[in-house]
Structure 1
Amino acid sequence: MVSLSDIEKVVHATFDGVTKVELWGSLVAVFVRDFGEYYQNREKIRELANALKKKIVVRGDPKKRKEPERTAELIKSLASDAGITNIWFEPQFGEVHIEAYKPGLVIGKQGSNLKQIARESGWSPVVLRTPTMPSFTIEGVRKSDISNAEDRKKFLTKIGKKLLKPTPETSWVRAAMLGAFRQVGRSSVLIQTKNSRVLIDAGVQTGLNPATASPEDLYPYINMLGFPINELDAVIISHAHMDHTGFLPFLFAAGYD
């Protein structure tokens, strides 16, 4: 299993002008001084991805990025006919999100505008289509991405470090069925190894009246976990039905982070 220092050595041997290397979940983020060069020439990125067997993202060094106001002016001048509605900056990930009615005009022929934005500003452009009809859902999701960027980055960094932990020599996997077996509803399965504890689904029994039914018939057997809820590494939701998601708010209320 490679370590972060091993990854950094390979990155510095492949790229010039690297200022730092970060782990964003399963991604390796490489920050460089001359972002425009690497944005246009992807050969080095492919070479590094093959060497590390990981997905690579390249970002401009924060000290080399142009001010958001000047970057916004540059974007508007390049795509004045695109119907740009919003420009959001996400400094934690080095991205500028551009919302427009005509995203193709923002991108430009063969990505020419995106390359120019990256080269002149040091920001990585992300182009999003503005809905033709107002959508509070889409607006809320996009604003949430920006406002929670710092927390998302901390979470991804934490996960990235966990993924680099060495695998134990003797491996075992335990599966505990906490609900939904021999019945329909309150789906929940605990998968446990030496390294991690993952809960798949956290549902409730939808066919019973909560006012009269016993909690043992309504909810998964969370008391069988055998450890505090805040020690769960992840909760994976298979799909958004109540018998698979209804118990999730309780997990957050009980301390899952």
Structure 2
Amino acid sequence: MVIEEKLRELKEQINKIVPGGITISDVEFEGPELVIYTDDPKQFADQADLIKVLARDLRKRIVVRPNILEDPERAAQEIRSVVPENAGISDLFFDPETGEVLIEAEKPGVVIGKNGITLREITKQIGWTPKVVRTPPIESTTVKQIRTFLRSVKDERKAFLRKIGHRIHREVTSKDQWLRVTTLGCCREVGRAAFLISTPESKILVDCGEKPGSATNGAPYLYVPEIYPLDSLDAVVLTHAHLDHCALVPLLFKYGYEGPVYST
């Protein structure tokens, strides 16, 4: 079954589950998530358990995005009127590409409300999907710059997420179920961690680090046939941010990798 047929089937299943009056305009795979586009986000918010039911029945990670979004300035006013003042909202970041508003607050629990009631009220009032994070103890210029950059490349982000989503949800074509781990560094030594996990369907690189202080043999074996060419990789997964595990990820992109990097 091709991806388009799978999406049509999912849309039919969703229409059978959602109550009347909620219009589903489109469904799409974006990254690991199934995104449901609707003109009725406020009605979705009224149905407290609807997304949970959809996720359970479809066995997918579900995100609901509105087709029409409230003007950010008016939406910011609505958020501040709904959220109690003692929550200490410090910043609001509206991401039109995802339909999400990131709410920075000194007390995230107050923004969320008991059993998420305040978040649902925000969605009912403005249509945007609220996400809550704690206000960092030190204001970060870097974080603000990253958010501005993400907003400036929204079209590229959507195309990338859809490309990756279609790849993640592609049909299984092999009946075999073997798995192979290839060590490209870090064995019997400290540094240049890199492990290739291969199946009949995919290849994932776990870590790509350097060997600190080494004048020679400081990089993993990224030229071996199992991993080359680098655009044959489906994903890179980083276990943590030490340089012996992540320093050479930029090298992957320099030599042809264009896929996702997953990290904490």
TM-score interval for Structure 1 and Structure 2 normalised by the shorter chain: 0.7 to 0.9
Kept in 1, the 8 Å contact 2:45–2:121? The answer is no
Unaligned ranges ≥5, structure 2: 259-264
1:116 is matched with which residue: 101, 115, 121?
A: 121
Q: 1:109 to 1:203 in 2, by over 3 A?
A: closer
SS in 2 for 1:181: coil
What does residue 78 of structure 2 align with?
74
Q: Distance in 2 between matches of 1:44 and 1:182?
A: 51
Distance change (3 Å), C-alpha of 1:176 and 1:129: closer
Matches of 1:109 and 1:78 in 2, distance apart? 14
Q: CA RMSD in A?
A: 2.7
TM score, norm. by length of structure 2? 0.80
Which is higher, the Rg of structure 1 or of structure 2? 1
Q: Distance in 1 between matches of 2:199 and 2:127?
A: 42
Q: 2: distance between equivalents of 1:83 and 1:126?
A: 15
Tell whether 2:60 aligns with 1:57. no
1:234 and 1:124 mapped to 2: Cα distance? 28
Which residue number in structure 2 is paired with residue 236 of structure 1? 237
Aligned to 2:179, which of 173, 193, 196? 173
Separation (CA, whole Å) in 1 of partners of 2:105 and 2:54: 33
Q: How far apart are residue 124 of structure 1 and its match?
A: 1.0
Match of 1:91 in 2: 96
TM-score (norm 1): 0.82
2:212 is matched with 206
**Could you tell me whether the CA contact under 8 Å between 2:231 and 2:257 is conserved in 1?**
yes
- Name the counterpart of 2:30: 24
Query: What is the aligned partner in structure 1 of residue 158 from structure 2?
Result: 153
Aligned residue number for residue 262 of structure 2: none
Matched with 2:218 is 218
Task: Give the Cα–Cα distance (whole angstroms) in 1 for the partners of residues 109 and 185 of structure 2.
Answer: 48
Aligned counterparts of 2:140 and 2:17: Cα–Cα separation in 1: 44
In the alignment, the residues of structure 1 paired with residue 202 and residue 152 of structure 2 have an alpha-carbon distance, to the nearest angstrom, of 29
Q: Percent identity?
A: 37
Once the 2 structures are TM-superposed, how far is the Cα of residue 145 of structure 1 from its aligned partner? 5.2
Q: Cα distance, 1:218 vs. partner? A: 2.0
Instruction: Return the alpha-carbon distance in structure 2 between the equivalents of residues 11 and 114 of structure 1.
Output: 23
* Amino acid across the alignment from 2:40: D
1:140 to 1:190, Cα distance in 2 relative to 1, 3 A: same
Matched, 1:194 2:200: yes
Query: Which amino acid is 2:248 matched to?
Result: F
- C-alpha offsets along residues 98-147 of structure 1, whole Å, 9 cap, x if unaligned? 22334445445654443332112211112233234323455455555545
- The amino acid across from 1:75 in the alignment is I
Q: Which amino acid aligns with 1:85?
A: S
Q: Which amino acid aligns with 2:44?
A: Y
Query: Counterparts of 1:5 and 1:86 in 2: how far apart (Å)?
Result: 39
Distance 1:21 1:99, change over 3 A: same
Q: In 2, distance between residues paired with 1:92 and 1:242?
A: 32
Does the 8 A contact of 2:176 with 2:200 survive in 1? no
